[in-house]
Amino acid sequence: MHRFIKLKINFKTILFKKYVMLIPLLLLFACVEEYVPQTSVFEDILVVETILTDEFKNHKVTLTRSYKFEEETPQYETNALVWIEDSQNNSFHFSETSEGIYISNQPFMALPNVSYTLHITTEDGKEYQSKDETIISASPIGNLYAELATGNNETGVQVFIDNDNQLNEDNFYMYEFEETYKIITPIDIELDFETANEGQEYLIAWGQWAKSFDILSSPHTTQTSVCYKVDYQKEILLANTNNLNTKIIKFPIRFIPYNSYLLRERYSILVKQLVLSEDAFFYFSALKKMQINGNVFIENQPGYVKSNIYSKQDENEKVAGYFSVSQMTSKRIYFNYSDFGFEKPLYPFYVLNGQLDYRDATWKDRDQDDRELIYEYINNVNSEYTIYKIVFTNDIPFYYYTFDYTCDCTTFSSNIKPVFWED
């Protein structure tokens, strides 16, 4: 059998990883400055994000355009015609469900020994087509596990993947993960509040007007204290096997520091293994390499990486993205901090617990105008705060407030328990 080695480690990346550059003495004179590149020459190209797997489902194609450095987000390529043809003369058409997102009209899956091509006709009439791609089958994802690990002066949990590659073939893999973690807010909302019966403004002190209103409360019914948040990876993970590295062992997927709030309640990670063709592997590893491309002295040669999607009118037109047809297998695990003997991680924010007094309606007493704030917090006027309970002291009501995200996790995540979730 032929040999093929592609080490999992990008050596030059290691060099540049930690600090972009810190070479002493000489570098007292050297200079590295961050700057905002001006897009003096801008190339507007089509970006295709899709992967056709052997899952029977409605597959998705996302079409965007490249954008300038000065811009925050890409424009979507809308109103395009998107379809996939296979070598058995089937066509699977896609419809745009939201801007730039095209979902297949029917569920289907990539079958072995059938080749697929992606076709796109943009609104301005340009036709794009991918090369024929066929699914490559390989050993399914192996063991997914988490271990205590220490590295770069940090202790935490390292998630690894193994693939024993029982078919013993030279294969190329891309790993994708999505992590889900449970959130329990430090403060629960006891009551919901609203204002009513707003009165006329009256002069409460020299130069300051106040307004009376009633505060109505009702039991808090929506569930806002237990949520689940889903995050996706921010890097390309690639691995391969060959007859020297016949197995994938302890391939690192994700590292979570011991004090990360992700571990505070419960954490789950789903890892997908996608089997790539050699060309697709080259494509993504080239993109990965260019993610970190230099330091003061060495600059990796960057460039445009040729996609397998090309314009039918002009083969040299640049297109970003790769149409890969891949076998997909996945695994999920759960863990939390106590599995590794860590102390319970703290919240990543300060737990504010303030009180407001309706009677204080002026700032002339060298204090904030509590009444106005109560009004603003209840009615969400320019406010990041929520009033969550009343406490009566000597029959006087005090309104407790805190940050929205401290008591309501739906502000940044979902209170719907995912179907897969196991507590």
Partner 1 sequence: MKKFSKILKWHVFILHLVYFQLMYAQHDQVNYPMLSITLKNNTLEESIEIIENNTNYQFYYRDHWFGNYKYNITFENVALNEVLDKLFLDTKINYYIIDNKVFLVENTIIKDELPLDFFTNFNKSESINETIALKDYVQDTDEIITIGKENRSGVKSKYVVTGYVKSATTNEMLKGVRVFTKKATVETYTDKNGYFSLNIIPGFNTIFAEIEGFQTSDIDVLIYGNGMLTIELASNITQLDEVIIKSDANQNIKKVLPGVVTISVKEIKIIPTILGEMDILKIATTMPGVKTVGEGALGYNVRGGKPDQNLILLDNAVLYNPSHFFGIFSSVNPFSTGSVDIYKGTIPAEYGSRLSSVIDINTKSVNKEKFSGQGNIGPVTTNIALEVPIIKDKTGVLLSFRSTYSDWILKQLKKEDLKNSQVSFYDGIIRLDSDLNSKNQLKATGYYSNDRFSISSDSIYKYGNKLFSVEWKHQLNDNHDLNLQLSDSNYSFGLLYEGGFNNDFDLNYSVRDAEIKLKFNYKLNSKHKFNYGLNTKFYNINPGEISPLNQNSTIGYNKLEKEKGLENALFISDKYDINDKLSVDFGLRFSLYAALGHGEQNIYEDGMPMSESNIIETVSYANNDVIKTYFYPEYRASARYTFSPSFSIKGGYNKSIQFIHMLSSTTSASPIDVWKLSNLNIKPQISHQLSVGLYKNFNQNQYEISAESYFKKMNNTIDFRVGADLFLNENIESELLVGDGKAYGIEFLFKKSGKFNGWIGYTYSRAFLRFKSEYLMNQINNGNYFPANFDKPHDVSLVANYKLTERYSFSLNYLYQTGRPITFPVGQYYLNGIEHVLYSERNQLRIPDYYRLDLGINIEGNHKIKKLAHSFWNISVYNVLGRNNPYSIFFVNEDGMIKAYQSSIFSVPVPTISYNFKF
Query: Between residue 362 and residue 381, which ones bind partner 1 under the rule CB under 8 A?
Result: none
User: Residue 311 in contact with residue 127, Cβ under 8 Å?
Assistant: yes
State in angstroms the smallest separation of the CB of 136 from partner 1.
10
User: Considering only residues 202, 297, 412, 420, which one is a binding residue for partner 1 as defined by CB under 8 A?
Assistant: 297
Long-range pairs for 119-124: beta carbons < 8 A, 24 or more residues apart: 119/81, 119/82, 119/83, 119/84, 119/85, 120/46, 120/48, 120/61, 120/63, 120/80, 120/81, 120/82, 120/309, 121/80, 121/81, 122/46, 122/63, 122/77, 122/79, 122/80, 123/77, 123/78, 123/79, 123/80
The answer to whether residue 355 forms part of the interface with partner 1 (CB under 8 A) is no
Point out which residues pair with 107 in neighbouring strands.
Answer: none
User: Residue 375 in contact with residue 215, Cβ under 8 Å?
Assistant: no
Encoded tokens for 175 = 């790993």
Q: Footprint of partner 1 on residues 88-107 (CB under 8 A)?
A: none
Residue 219's contacts (CB-CB under 8 Å, 6 or more residues apart) are 190, 191, 192
State in angstroms the smallest separation of the CB of 135 from partner 1.
15
Measured from the CB atom, the residue of 36 and 196 that comes closer to partner 1 is 36
State in angstroms the smallest separation of the CB of 143 from partner 1.
13
Measured from the CB atom, the residue of 203 and 244 that comes closer to partner 1 is 244
Query: Edge to edge, what strands does the sheet with 144-151 contain?
Result: 144-151, 154-163, 248-257
Provide the 10 A C-beta neighbour count for residue 316: 7
Measured from the CB atom, the residue of 8 and 312 that comes closer to partner 1 is 8
Q: Footprint of partner 1 on residues 223-252 (CB under 8 A)?
A: 232-236, 244-245, 249-250, 252
The answer to whether residue 36 forms part of the interface with partner 1 (CB under 8 A) is yes
User: Residue 255 in contact with residue 262, Cβ under 8 Å?
Assistant: no
Q: Rounded distance, CA 262 to CA 256, Å?
A: 8
Half-sphere exposure of 281 (CA within 13 A, CB side): 22
Name the one range near partner 1 by CB under 8 A: 116-124, 220-228, 298-306, 382-390: 298-306
Name the one range near partner 1 by CB under 8 A: 16-24, 115-123, 265-273, 329-337: 16-24
Q: Rounded distance, CA 115 to CA 112, Å?
A: 8
The answer to whether residue 331 forms part of the interface with partner 1 (CB under 8 A) is no
User: Considering only residues 209, 304, 363, 412, which one is a binding residue for partner 1 as defined by CB under 8 A?
Assistant: 304
Q: Footprint of partner 1 on residues 252-281 (CB under 8 A)?
A: 252, 255, 278-279
Q: Footprint of partner 1 on residues 277-296 (CB under 8 A)?
A: 278-279, 282, 285-296
Of the candidates 348, 400, 336, the residue with the CA atom closest to the CA atom of residue 373: 400
The answer to whether residue 419 forms part of the interface with partner 1 (CB under 8 A) is no
User: Considering only residues 6, 60, 229, 332, which one is a binding residue for partner 1 as defined by CB under 8 A?
Assistant: 6
Encoded tokens for 58 = 């409605």
User: Considering only residues 303, 366, 392, 419, which one is a binding residue for partner 1 as defined by CB under 8 A?
Assistant: 303
Measured from the CB atom, the residue of 1 and 203 that comes closer to partner 1 is 1
Name the one range near partner 1 by CB under 8 A: 5-13, 107-115, 212-220, 329-337: 5-13
State in angstroms the smallest separation of the CB of 367 from partner 1.
41
Half-sphere exposure of 279 (CA within 13 A, CB side): 16
The answer to whether residue 43 forms part of the interface with partner 1 (CB under 8 A) is yes
Name the one range near partner 1 by CB under 8 A: 59-67, 193-201, 212-220, 388-396: 59-67
The answer to whether residue 305 forms part of the interface with partner 1 (CB under 8 A) is yes
State in angstroms the smallest separation of the CB of 258 from partner 1.
14
Q: Rounded distance, CA 191 to CA 338, Å?
A: 33
Name the one range near partner 1 by CB under 8 A: 64-72, 113-121, 212-220, 387-395: 64-72
Task: Compute, in degrees rounded to 10, the torsion defined by CA atoms 351, 355, 361, 365.
Answer: -80
